[in-house]
Amino acid sequence: MAAGLEDLWGHQPPGEPDAARGELRRALVVAAHPDDADFGAGGAAALLARSGWEVRYLVVTDGSKGSDDPSFTPHQLVETRAGEQRVAAAHLGVASVGFLGFTDGELTASRDLLGAIVREIRAFRPYAVYTHDPEPVVHNEGFINHSDHRATGLATVDAVYPAARDRLNFPEQVAEGLAPHVVRELYLWGSNQPNCDVDISSVVEAKIEALLLHGSQFNNDDGFIDYMRSRWQDAEGRSFEHFRRVVMFG
Ligand SMILES: [Zn+2]
């Protein structure tokens, strides 16, 4: 068991990859937009990285709709947001960031998207995958779940099971040398049915710093930092990320 994580993962510690089975201490975080990974799982990513896991972010869309600032062209916004995401990820100890480049705001859970995520899973071979819970159309907190979040979550869940696992799905990838891959654990953020609370108190400041590195998106003019702190803190002052956790059979 990774040192310390057993105390933080809601009394259900993340499984320890079995090296004898070729399992690696790797986690893939699949997010719709630049900044979603930091929001949804930045604390868990930092904890895993500090415990020796290799964490990779995969950003599905190009973030080209995410600004009201008329001085930004869509192209400048894409470049700016990708750069911000790389810096923020590095701040949390995330080892790499991939960008699939689908158009922001226009995502559907298509065959193309499924294949792209399957390819990433087969190439990176993560033990655990973190992504948006695709089920809520309206969050319990009272806001609408962005359609890109739903499409990303749904395609990622479908990629984890069964598409990445089975050799007859996207067989052209297997023919290229990308072997089928079994993901052991799935963690969904933004869920209306969380069953796993990860104590991120030791890394919450780093998570907030990472979010503020998305300078095109956030600043503290409107009490944003205070809002974030209060969003994750419980009455005792500890901070949590909440996930719906699915442990695979086998
Ligand atoms: Zn988003």
Model pLDDT for residues 69-121, shown as the tens digit of each residue: 888 898 999 999 999 999 999 999 999 999 999 999 999 999 999 999 999 99
Phi-psi region of 237 (alpha: psi -120 to 50; beta: other; left: phi over 0): left
Q: Is residue 28 part of a domain?
A: yes
For the CA atoms of 14, 18, 22, 25, the dihedral, rounded to the nearest 10 degrees, stands at 30
The three-class DSSP label of residue 104 is coil
Measured in residues, the chain has a length of 250
User: How much distance in Å is there from the Cα of 245 to the middle of ligand 1?
Assistant: 20
The three-class DSSP label of residue 78 is helix
* Listed residue (182, 121, 194, 125) closest to 155, CA to CA: 121
User: How much distance in Å is there from the Cα of 176 to the middle of ligand 1?
Assistant: 32
User: How much distance in Å is there from the Cα of 167 to the middle of ligand 1?
Assistant: 31
User: How much distance in Å is there from the Cα of 177 to the middle of ligand 1?
Assistant: 33
Q: Which pLDDT belongs to residue 135?
A: 97
Residue ranges, the chain, pLDDT below 50: 1-3
Beta strands in the chain (DSSP E): 26-31, 54-61, 96-102, 128-132, 185-189, 196-199, 240-247
Q: Is residue 30 part of a domain?
A: yes
What Rg do the C-alpha atoms of the chain give, in angstroms? 17
User: How much distance in Å is there from the Cα of 197 to the middle of ligand 1?
Assistant: 21
Enter the tokens of residue 46. Answer: 């930092």
> Contact at 8 Å (CB) between 150 and 158?
no
User: How much distance in Å is there from the Cα of 83 to the middle of ligand 1?
Assistant: 16
User: How much distance in Å is there from the Cα of 127 to the middle of ligand 1?
Assistant: 24
* Listed residue (9, 30, 26, 23) closest to 130, CA to CA: 30
- The CATH number of residue 56's host domain is 3.40.50.10320
Q: Is residue 205 part of a domain?
A: yes
User: How much distance in Å is there from the Cα of 161 to the middle of ligand 1?
Assistant: 23
Q: Is residue 35 part of a domain?
A: yes
User: How much distance in Å is there from the Cα of 171 to the middle of ligand 1?
Assistant: 31
Phi then psi dihedrals of residue 247, to 5 deg: -100, 125
- Strand order across the 128-132 sheet: 96-102, 54-61, 26-31, 128-132, 185-189, 240-247, 196-199
Q: Is residue 100 part of a domain?
A: yes
Q: Is residue 10 part of a domain?
A: no
Enter the tokens of residue 14. Answer: 């993340």
User: How much distance in Å is there from the Cα of 1 to the middle of ligand 1?
Assistant: 32
CA-CA distance, 9 to 43, in Å (whole number)? 11
Mind giving me the DSSP string for 105-155? T-----HHHHHHHHHHHHHH--SEEEEE-S--SB-TTS-BPPHHHHHHHHH
User: How much distance in Å is there from the Cα of 45 to the middle of ligand 1?
Assistant: 17
pTM: 0.94
User: How much distance in Å is there from the Cα of 149 to the middle of ligand 1?
Assistant: 6
User: How much distance in Å is there from the Cα of 199 to the middle of ligand 1?
Assistant: 23
Q: Which pLDDT belongs to residue 199?
A: 95
Q: Is residue 194 part of a domain?
A: yes
Q: Is residue 17 part of a domain?
A: no
The three-class DSSP label of residue 8 is coil
Range of the domain at 57: 23-247
Q: Which pLDDT belongs to residue 3?
A: 45
Enter the tokens of residue 199. Answer: 């104590």
> Contact at 8 Å (CB) between 81 and 72?
no
Domain count, the chain: 1
Model pLDDT for residues 27-39, shown as the tens digit of each residue: 999 999 999 999 9
Give the number of other CB atoms < 10 A from CB of residue 66. 22
User: How much distance in Å is there from the Cα of 7 to the middle of ligand 1?
Assistant: 30
User: How much distance in Å is there from the Cα of 146 to the middle of ligand 1?
Assistant: 7
User: How much distance in Å is there from the Cα of 168 to the middle of ligand 1?
Assistant: 32
Q: Which pLDDT belongs to residue 13?
A: 64
User: How much distance in Å is there from the Cα of 186 to the middle of ligand 1?
Assistant: 19
Query: How close are the terminal C-alpha atoms of the chain, in Å?
Result: 19
